[in-house]
Structure 1
Amino acid sequence: MSELPAPRRFSCRHATGLVHDQGAQVVDWIPTGHAPVLWLSPSTALERGRAVRGGVPICFPWFAEGPSGDLEPKHGFVRTLPWEMQSFESSDHEAVAVYRFTEEDVPDPALRALFPHRFEAEYVVRFGPELELELSVTNTDEHGFDFEEALHAYLVVGDVRRIRIEGLDGARYRDKVTDRDGCLQEGPLEPAAETDRVYESSADVRVVDPVLGRALRIRKRGSATTVVWNPWAEKAAGLPDVGADGWSGFVCVEGANVQGNAVHLEPEETHTMGYRVAVETLPGDPGASPA
């Protein structure tokens, strides 16, 4: 495989960011005065047609192995194919990029046959005081279809064993590690082992990180599912682009519509899912708990 071209760089007074045209994948967002927010594996393969581990991969038109459990590539085909950048605007306040992808951008007929529908996807990326992502899918076919989607954000944390994730209390979830449905979240989520949960939740989420002395506030729109994932040590050791040590430095908190919350679109209908991240500084010393 050939080397993946360097990502595009975006900057404004409030932040800098990087985006690969392949997958329209945001791989960096650094708000001014703060440490990086998106985790990117230092050992990920930067090759055309191979998934990049980290940043915010776009999962579409299916999530994981899809509803049937046997679809490949995992998380759909758009994350390993180039998107077309339609426009770019930059001001003192923010930098905005707009990407586009349609079924005609899938070169392999066998791959296209796995999702034999006409569609247009638009992805708007805003780098500023917040990172704002917006994925819109329009049905340009003559028949309705269903799809799954996720913005698979890898968030930097000081130590995943010391964070807590607020906002999911009372939500039902599927635990993919134990293969159990209908689990109930009680209180904040404090990961202590491999975590792979699909929550029935559209609520705001807050990742409280006492090690880095900050909280990441995540707000979603048009997203009925929140996915939380970390492979933990044993599983990460078998993932070459995560490695034995990388797992402790991130947590994935994803905006999604998957499984029972898959999206149905009739012809000419559009569905939009938004995902926003903001950084809050915790009071006191970096090791202190928030007030």
Structure 2
Amino acid sequence: MLPDCIQLIDNPAGKTFVVIDHPQVSARIALEGAHLLQCTPKGQLPLLWVSPDDPQLPGKSLRGGIPLCWPWFGGDRPAAAHGIARRAKWVLSTATEDSQGVYLRFDLPAACISEQLPGEPWQVYVEFRLGAGIDGQLTTTNVGAEPMKLSQALHTYLPVGSIHQARISGLDASCYIDALDGWTHKTQAGDVQFNAELDRIYYGNGDNLYLHAGDNSVVVERQGSESVVVWNPWVDKSLRLSEFPAEGYLRMLCIEAANAGPDARVLQPGEQHTLGTRIQHAD
């Protein structure tokens, strides 16, 4: 039985969401993809950006929030980009509340994994603790007899008042792979700022990051992550993206806790790894 503050509700298109209306936080999570779409702590601005153009249809991944990229990121395999988790049907296995917020756990059924990833005996679940901030943890175990490669990301869309004023600190002197310049390796100088399309994998850095975005500035902490993806599609790509407004790039950017690029992991039989992110408004 779910706590009174948590309900399962279908939208007009028939897509099922876990809707949280707690005194400390309101939030919405799609069962498909275990996809945290919205989270607003009491008396604060939303922590996540979601596309107003997305019809949120059943069977379709959502544009915004925190899509789960698992068990590969980007084009690490010739199959569909970002893995199977975003469109899979997860199971809400635990939902509790206390005075500070809510806790939810979603499991990806073993039958789904064996059907879509034959020969890859993974076990995976995601946990969300929602209240004054977002605490999300994606835990993967290799339950097979052979080592298996894992790359992944918590593909977090964050809102900004204007991309022209937004900047990210905490990555100065970090190495990164520039996906828009032949996957060349470069070094960051100063804060990350935006004046064109940007798509980078920063690696060798597990520090806290700070998004300076006026009233909606946030701090992003990471767990089990030495890489972070920073992305904004800018003008031309915005026009090519599905379910994305033409000027949406002005109001969002992505800071994604990841195990990507040189930070991809190899899990030995029985080994477990947790990728986590904690997001809260900066003081």
Amino acid across the alignment from 1:166:
S
- Residue by residue over 1:38-65, the C-alpha shift from the partner in whole angstroms, topping out at 9 and shown as x without a partner, is 1111222422322111100000011112
> Aligned pair 1:163/2:170, yes or no?
no
What are the ranges of 5 or more consecutive residues in structure 1 without an aligned counterpart? 282-291
CA contact (8 A) 1:23 1:83 kept: yes
Amino acid across the alignment from 2:229:
V
Task: Tell me: CA distance 1:4–1:169, structure 2 relative to 1, closer, same or farther (3 Å).
Answer: farther
Moved more, 140-149 or 165-174: 140-149
Match of residue 289 from structure 1:
none
Question: How far apart in 1 are the matches of 2:161 and 2:216?
Answer: 10
Task: Tell me: CA distance 1:262–1:177, structure 2 relative to 1, closer, same or farther (3 Å).
Answer: same
CA contact (8 A) 1:144 1:265 kept: yes
Give the percent of matched residue pairs that are identical in Structure 1 and Structure 2.
27
Match of residue 208 from structure 1:
212
What are the ranges of 5 or more consecutive residues in structure 2 without an aligned counterpart? 1-11
- Normalising by the residue count of structure 1, what TM-score does the alignment of the two structures yield? 0.89
Match of residue 139 from structure 2:
136
- Residue by residue over 1:76-116, the C-alpha shift from the partner in whole angstroms, topping out at 9 and shown as x without a partner, is 11110110111100112110100111442147x4x424xx3
Question: How far apart in 1 are the matches of 2:240 and 2:22?
Answer: 39
Q: Which of 242, 252, 255 in structure 1 is aligned with 2:254?
A: 252
> Aligned pair 1:124/2:127, yes or no?
yes
Q: Which of 13, 16, 37 in structure 1 is aligned with 2:47?
A: 37
- Structure 1 runs, 4 residues or longer, greater than 6 Å off: none
Report the alpha carbon displacement of residue 159 of structure 1 after superposing the two structures with TM: 0.9
> Aligned pair 1:192/2:200, yes or no?
no
Report the alpha carbon displacement of residue 30 of structure 1 after superposing the two structures with TM: 0.3
Question: How far apart in 2 are the matches of 1:53 and 1:4?
Answer: 17
Question: How far apart in 1 are the matches of 2:32 and 2:86?
Answer: 7
SS in 1 for 2:168: strand
Report the alpha carbon displacement of residue 4 of structure 1 after superposing the two structures with TM: 4.5
Question: How far apart in 2 are the matches of 1:204 and 1:46?
Answer: 32
SS in 2 for 1:50: coil
Match of residue 275 from structure 1:
277
Match of residue 79 from structure 2:
71
> Aligned pair 1:146/2:154, yes or no?
no
- Residue by residue over 1:189-212, the C-alpha shift from the partner in whole angstroms, topping out at 9 and shown as x without a partner, is 1111001000012111000012xx
CA RMSD of aligned residues (A): 1.6
Give the count of matched residue pairs. 271
CA contact (8 A) 1:95 1:128 kept: yes
Question: How far apart in 2 are the matches of 1:151 and 1:257?
Answer: 9
